[in-house]
Amino acid sequence: MAEGKAEESRLDGSGAGAAAESKNFIEQLIDNDLKEGVYDRVHTRFPPEPNGYLHIGHAKSIILNSGIAEEYGGLFNLRFDDTNPTKERMEFVDSIKEDVRWLGADFEDRLFYASDYFEEMYRCAVLLIRKGLAFVDDLSADEIREYRGDFNTPGRESPWRGRSVEENLRLFEEMRAGKYADGEKTLRAKIDMASPNINMRDPVIYRVAHMSHHNTGDAWCIYPMYDFAHPIEDAIEGITHSLCTLEFEDHRPLYDWVVRECEFAHPPRQIEFAKLYLTNVVTGKRYIKKLVEDGVVDGWDDPRLVTIAALRRRGYTPESIRQFVKLSGISKANSSSDYSLLEYCIREDLKLKKPRLMAVLKPLKLIIDNYPEGKTEELSIPNNLENESLGERKVIFSRELYIEEDDFMVDPPKKYKRLYPGNEVRLMGAYFVKCTGYDTDSEGRVSAVHCTYDPETKSGTGFDGRKVKGTIHWVDAGTAGFVTVRLYEQLIDEEKGKLNEDGTLNFNKDSLTVLENCPVEPALMEARAYDSFQFMRNGYFCADSHDSREGKPVFNRIVSLKSSFKLPS
């Protein structure tokens, strides 16, 4: 338990005194760097590309990078790696800033763009040319791939690799001036075409792209490649520890080469960690983009997705996501976390914080025949039995109520503890009622249930007579509000797997159920966007941020109340 607490405090940035033996491998490396004087401070960054919305995997990087900076009393930057104008939009920039702030990662005034450094990157490229370490190439993209070889075949040098420094400088300046068409020329680093690491086989570091950029407009028609730009950005900003995911491990030699050959005095250290994978969810930007374009989901923040914006809209909290990242762990080994762990974290976060109100999702009228017509009474009901500090509320009780459709059965199975003819249950916070009959419509479906109540059994009066085995919730018919409720399941069919044989996503056709005119307590009609509640026995729900209107909320189910998931002991 103590080790778990130490891990939690590190991830939320409050555990600078955690025991050394419980630290993850990144912290151990940083401790050693500080001890040996490699760095005298810690400065991290989160460097997203603004080509889509962030997802749950990015949350791990945000929380890790900002948490490490806070733990060591250092600094944390948000920087957009906006070197590819073909896919970048301000919509994505704005959504990312909102996500990072919402997760509690404080970058203060340190918001940067790779495009802020385009002039410095250009000077670095010129420096490499002057040092004989870069050349302008006329090979096409397909030819470059062919010349690069593969893991079993060494690469071949480009016929243009031997150009003089003077010619390369002239051609590169002409590239910047717009003389060449897209793809006509590239600037490549001159490293080693026989390297076993394909990333070191004369990688392209600049390409021609006549496109307007969201930040620099039409000032540039050549753009640096990510592997060249990223280490320069880190070095310019004084980043000490460049924390990134494992797919960049093979890129580390190139990262170090760029920083070294561009002659930065204080090179950053790249450290890789395992990505956060979540079972049976869609995280790839390419897939999500297609889902949005095909209208399968209603946007990048559709609550069935696991983008950070979607989780926020559905009703997840920053605290629950931080706890999920903590429990998933920080390591060098790739693994997957079960979606039920994420659900466990939101349940644990909400169960003591939120009021528990009554809402009926599939209503059935209940009529108490011996309750006086026209009479109403006010009952006091605790807002949360596990947290008395949330107090009580008043609800109206009368002769006609709504109950859940499945809280009544004409011919119930054994062990059914709710209403059926002749059985008695407690109405939550109110009275015992006994079923005396029911009405049906023209098609034989139950349309109303008739009961009698025992006025001696009122909750809170100390009644200690006969016992009942079932308690059901209800909403007063005369004062009920009516709302739309959305029930979500996994977007991917878990039984069939994520992908079909043809590579398309395998959708769950029941991923969204919309229920209209659900009766709820009047207090729920005042809910505003992102307000969340427990609907008794039905789960946790959040007022939708898109479609809720004043006095007319739409509720998304965040998560059901029950799960078979158990934390490992």
Instruction: Evaluate if residue 568 carries a pLDDT over 80.
Output: no
In a domain, 15, yes or no: no
Listed residues 459, 478, 497: the one ending a domain? 478
Q: Which tens digits make up the pLDDT trace of 112-136?
A: 999 999 999 999 999 999 999 999 9
In a domain, 380, yes or no: yes
In a domain, 374, yes or no: yes
- Cα dihedral sign, 417-420-425-429: positive
In a domain, 225, yes or no: yes
- Which residue from 28, 20, 23 is spatially nearest to 8, judged by alpha carbons? 23
| Dist CA 531 CA 540 (whole Å) | 11
Kindly report the pTM of this predicted structure. 0.90
- pLDDT attached to residue 282: 83
Q: What would the DSSP string read from start to end of 373-434?
A: TT-EEEEEEES-TT-GGG-EEEEEEESEEEEEGGGB-SSPPTT--SB-TT-EEEETTS-EEE
Instruction: Evaluate if residue 286 carries a pLDDT over 70.
Output: yes
Q: Which tens digits make up the pLDDT trace of 387-420?
A: 999 999 999 999 999 999 999 999 999 999 999 9
Mean per-residue pLDDT over the chain, rounded: 92
Across 32-52, b (16+ Cβ under 10 Å) vs e yields ebeeeeebeebbbbbbbbbbb
Q: CA angle, corner 349, sides to 347 and 352, nearest 5?
A: 95
In a domain, 433, yes or no: yes
How sure is the predictor about 543, in pLDDT bands with cuts at 50, 70 and 90? very high
Listed residues 460, 478, 496: the one ending a domain? 478
Q: Are residues 142 and 259 in the same domain?
A: yes
In a domain, 289, yes or no: no
* Rounded alpha-carbon distances, angstroms, from residue 561 to 115, 488, 533: 47, 13, 12
CATH classification at residue 256: 3.40.50.620
Q: What is the mean pLDDT of residues 285-294?
A: 86
How sure is the predictor about 424, in pLDDT bands with cuts at 50, 70 and 90? very high
Percentage above 70 pLDDT, the chain: 93
Instruction: Evaluate if residue 6 carries a pLDDT over 80.
Output: no
- Cα dihedral sign, 56-243-89-506: negative
Q: Are residues 258 and 397 in the same domain?
A: no
Q: Please identify which residue in the block is written with the tokens 């039409």.
A: 218
Token pair, residue 342, equals 């994420």
CATH classification at residue 448: 2.40.240.10
Q: What residues make up the domain containing 360? A: 355-478
Q: What is the mean pLDDT of residues 205-210?
A: 97
Q: Are residues 268 and 363 in the same domain?
A: no
In a domain, 311, yes or no: no
| Dist CA 141 CA 109 (whole Å) | 39
How sure is the predictor about 19, in pLDDT bands with cuts at 50, 70 and 90? very low
Q: Are residues 226 and 82 in the same domain?
A: yes
- pLDDT attached to residue 86: 85
Q: Are residues 266 and 386 in the same domain?
A: no
Q: Please identify which residue in the block is written with the tokens 């401790």.
A: 31
How sure is the predictor about 353, in pLDDT bands with cuts at 50, 70 and 90? very high
Q: Are residues 270 and 387 in the same domain?
A: no
Instruction: Report the domain count for the chain.
Output: 2
- Residues 510, 550: contact at Cβ < 8 Å? no
In a domain, 75, yes or no: yes
Q: Please identify which residue in the block is written with the tokens 């559709």.
A: 302
Listed residues 478, 513, 529: the one ending a domain? 478
